[in-house]
Amino acid sequence: MANKRKWPWRQLLGEHPVVGWRHHIGLIVMAVSCLIIDLFTKELALARLSDGRIHSWLDGWLELKLVFNPGAAFSMGPGLTVFFSSLAVLALIFLTVVVAPRAEGWVANLLVGLLIAGVAGNLTDRLLRPPAFFRGHVIDFIAVKYFAVFNFADICLTVSVIVVFVIIFFGSKPSQPAQS
């Protein structure tokens, strides 16, 4: 029997090719609710912070301030907005067509829901916000001193990616047969 290589993502998606949509209620609820929270908080930030106001807590360690981000994480690549928009479209298609139908178990479903919400939240900004379609700037408004300015979609992405890496690298390993 050939030794079939097991890819790390199999720990999250399982061995089954596709499971019915009823097994993905948690994924759907997570994705939709987190996307709604992201869109709502961005609209709230636009309404309350557009005048340049900054709300500061913990001696300036945490601030709410409005930033229009044309780039990726940490405002890297501001001239690559179209590239990031295209990449986000491809990622969203991959997540919804390939990954989500194969997510097995509640943890995998919630993590994939978080990923979809994060990608969709920032993609919505890139598609619909000024200056133009596919060139829109992402609305960021949560600032941590000496770190970055980000939004709820970024939190969804970061949490899901960290948990995925923890599961892949520190999750349960298949037991090895005893050597005689």
Q: How far is CA 76 from CA 24, 69, 73, 80, in A?
A: 34, 9, 6, 9
> Is 99:7 a contact under the CB 8 Å cutoff?
no
Q: CA torsion sign, 65 to 44 to 89 to 105?
A: positive
Question: In the structure encoding, which two tokens stand for residue 98, read together?
Answer: 């390939």
Is residue 140 flagged as an active site residue? yes
Is residue 125 flagged as an active site residue? no
38, 51, 59, 154: the catalytic one is 154
**Residues known to be catalytic:** 140, 154
